[in-house]
Chains A and B, each alone.
Chain A
Amino acid sequence: MPELVNSHERKRLHARLIAKLGLVVVGMFGFGFAMVPLYDVFCDLTGLNGKTGRMAVQDVEAQEIDENRTVTVQFVANLNQSMHWEFQPADTELRVHPGRLYTTSFYARNKAGHDMIGRAIPSVAPGQAALHFKKTECFCFRRQAFEAGEGRDMPVRFMVDTKLPEGIETITLAYTFFDVTETAALQ
Chain B
Amino acid sequence: MSAVAHDDAHHEQHPYWIKRWLFTTNHKDIGTLYLWLSLLMFFIGGIMALIVRTELFQPGLQFVDPQFFLSMTTMHALVMIFGVIMPGFVGLANWLIPMMIGAPDMALPRMNNWSFWILPFAFAMLLSTLFMDGGAPAAGWTMYAPLVLQTGAAFPFLVFSIHFMGLSSILGAINIIATILNMRAPGMTLMKMPLFVWTWLITAYLLIAVMPVLAGAVTMLLTDKYFGTSFFNAAGGGDPVLFQHVFWFFGHPEVYILILPSFGVISSIVPTFARKPLFGYASMVYATASIAFLSFIVWSHHMFTVGMPLAGLLFFMFATMLIAVPTGVKVFNWVATMWRGSLTFETPMLFAIAFIVLFTIGGFSGLMLAIVPADFQYQDTYFVVAHFHYVLVPGSIFALMAAVYYWLPKWTGHMYNERLGKWHFWLTTIFVNLTFFPMHFVGLAGMPRRIPDYALQFTEYNMIETIGAFGFGLSQLLFVYIVVQTIRGGEKATAQVWDGARGLEWTLPSPPPYHSFTTAPEVK
| In the assembled complex, A186 has its CB within 8 A of some CB on chain B | yes
Chain A 23-51 interface residues, beta-carbon cutoff 8 Å to B:
24-26, 28-33, 35-36, 39, 43, 46, 48-49
User: Which B residues are CB-close (under 8 A) to A178?
Assistant: 234-235
Complex-state Cα separation, A39 to B107, whole angstroms: 39
Please judge, given known A-B contacts A36-B231, A141-B237, whether A25 and B212 are in contact too, CB under 8 Å.
yes
User: Which B residues are CB-close (under 8 A) to A32?
Assistant: 212-217, 220, 246, 249-250
A21–B177 touching, CB < 8 Å: yes
- Chain B, residues 286-319, CB within 8 Å of chain A (1/0): the string is 0000000000000000000001110000000000
User: Which B residues are CB-close (under 8 A) to A176?
Assistant: 234
- Chain A, residues 126-147, CB within 8 Å of chain B (1/0): the string is 0100000000000001000000
Please judge, given known A-B contacts A80-B235, A186-B228, A187-B228, whether A35 and B246 are in contact too, CB under 8 Å.
yes
How many whole Å from A165's CB to the nearest CB in chain B?
A: 13
User: Which B residues are CB-close (under 8 A) to A49?
Assistant: 239, 241
Please judge, given known A-B contacts A1-B184, A24-B209, A178-B234, whether A14 and B241 are in contact too, CB under 8 Å.
no
B237–A14 touching, CB < 8 Å: no
Of residues A14, A21, A32, A46, which shows the largest number of chain B Cβ atoms within 10 Å of its Cβ? A32
Q: Which of B108, B227, B241, B307 contacts A186 (CB 8 A)?
A: B227
| In the assembled complex, B178 has its CB within 8 A of some CB on chain A | yes
Q: Which of A10, A29, A121 contacts B234 (CB 8 A)?
A: A121
CB-based nearest A residue for B307: A127
Of residues A3, A25, A186, which shows the largest number of chain B Cβ atoms within 10 Å of its Cβ? A25
- Chain B, residues 228-248, CB within 8 Å of chain A (1/0): the string is 101101111101011001100
How many whole Å from B437's CB to the nearest CB in chain A?
A: 38
User: Which A residues are CB-close (under 8 A) to B250?
Assistant: 32
Chain B 188-220 interface residues, beta-carbon cutoff 8 Å to A:
208-217, 220
How many whole Å from B190's CB to the nearest CB in chain A?
A: 11
Known: A28-B209, A121-B234. 8 other contacts (CB 8 A): A14-B182, A25-B174, A33-B216, A39-B239, A39-B242, A80-B235, A127-B309, A186-B227
A31–B186 touching, CB < 8 Å: no
A17–B309 touching, CB < 8 Å: no
Number of chain A residues close to chain B: CB under 8 A = 39
| In the assembled complex, A18 has its CB within 8 A of some CB on chain B | yes
User: Which A residues are CB-close (under 8 A) to B242?
Assistant: 35-36, 39
| In the assembled complex, B255 has its CB within 8 A of some CB on chain A | no
Chain A 101-129 interface residues, beta-carbon cutoff 8 Å to B:
119, 121, 127
B182–A17 touching, CB < 8 Å: yes
- Chain A, residues 176-187, CB within 8 Å of chain B (1/0): the string is 101110010011
| In the assembled complex, A13 has its CB within 8 A of some CB on chain B | yes
**Closest 9 CB pairs between A and B?**
A32-B216, A178-B235, A186-B228, A29-B212, A28-B212, A32-B213, A183-B228, A21-B174, A13-B182
Complex-state Cα separation, A43 to B217, whole angstroms: 19
User: Which B residues are CB-close (under 8 A) to A39?
Assistant: 239, 242, 245
